[in-house]
Chain A
Amino acid sequence: DTGVSQNPRHKITKRGQNVTFRCDPISEHNRLYWYRQTLGQGPEFLTYFQNEAQLEKSRLLSDRFSAERPKGSFSTLEIQRTEQGDSAMYLCASSLSSGGLIGKTQYFGPGTRLLVL
C-alpha cells in the first residue's frame, strides 16, 4: 500500500497562468477528495469524487477551478488564470466506499504547495 501521492509537491507560477495538479489515491479507494489549506488554517473542502463522478463541489471552487477523475483512478485539479489568493496547499485524500467509520476515514497525500507571484 503506497498511500496517496500528489505531484508536483511544489509549484511556483505567475499570476494569470494555468496550473494542474495530480493526485493518485490509494489503489482500492473509490472516493477521492480535494481540500485547500491556507497558512494557519485547517483544510477546507473543495470537491469529491465517487469513482469518476464528481458528487459535490464547494462554493470555494470558483469557475476557474476544475477537477476531473476520468477513469475513476487518478484525479487532476486545474486552476485557470491563477490569482495571488490561490496560493495555498492543495491536499488530496481518498477513502474506501464502505459504510460507517471505514468509509468516512480519509487518508491524505503530502499536498501540492502553490505559490502565485
Chain B
Amino acid sequence: AQTVTQSQPEMSVQEAETVTLSCTYDTSESDYYLFWYKQPPSRQMILVIRQEAYKQQNATENRFSVNFQKAAKSFSLKISDSQLGDAAMYFCAYGSGGSNYKLTFGKGTLLTVNP
C-alpha cells in the first residue's frame, strides 16, 4: 500500500517570503500522480498543483511550484511571495495510475503566514 508522509506538522513564513513544504511517498508503482491540496480553516479543500510521475518537468502554478524528485520519492511544494491568504492546512496526496482512483493523503502541514 502506498503511504504519504508530511514530516512538518506546522510551518510559518513571513508575508512576501518563500516557504517549502515537504512530502515523501512510498510506492512500487511507476505510473502515478501527485497533488497538493489546500484546506483553509472551516473551508473546503482546493487543488493547488498536480504532477504526473512520468513528466520530468516540475509543475508550476503562479506562485506555487513543486520540486519532484522521482528517485527520492519526494514532492515538495514551494510557495513564493507568501500572502496572508495562503494560511491553511496543506495536504500532499498520491494517486495510482491505471484503474485505481482513490487518493492517499498525508497528515498535512499547517502553514501560518505572519504579517
Do A105 and B47 touch (CB < 8 A)? yes
Do A45 and B104 touch (CB < 8 A)? yes
Tell me the bound Cα distance from A104 to B44 in angstroms. 19
Chain B residues, Cβ within 8 Å of A44: 105
| Number of B residues, CB within 8 Å of A | 24
Q: Which of B52-109 contact A (CB under 8 A)?
A: 52, 91, 93, 95, 97, 100-108
Tell me the bound Cα distance from A56 to B99 in angstroms. 10
Q: Which of B1-46 contact A (CB under 8 A)?
A: 4, 33, 35, 37, 43-46
Do B50 and A101 touch (CB < 8 A)? yes
> How far does the Cβ of B25 sit from chain A's closest Cβ, in whole Å?
12
Interface of B toward A, CB cutoff 8 Å: 4, 33, 35, 37, 43-47, 50, 52, 91, 93, 95, 97, 100-108
Interface stretch of the complex, out of A16-24, A69-77, A106-114: A106-114
Interface flags for A49-71 (1: CB within 8 Å of B; 0: not) read: 00000011010000000000000
Do A56 and B102 touch (CB < 8 A)? yes
Interface of A toward B, CB cutoff 8 Å: 31, 33, 35, 40-45, 48, 55-56, 58, 91, 95, 100-101, 103-111
Given known pairs A105-B47, A105-B50, A110-B43, the reply for A42 and B101 (CB within 8 Å) is no
Chain B residues, Cβ within 8 Å of A109: 44
Do B52 and A48 touch (CB < 8 A)? no
Do A101 and B52 touch (CB < 8 A)? yes
Do B107 and A41 touch (CB < 8 A)? yes
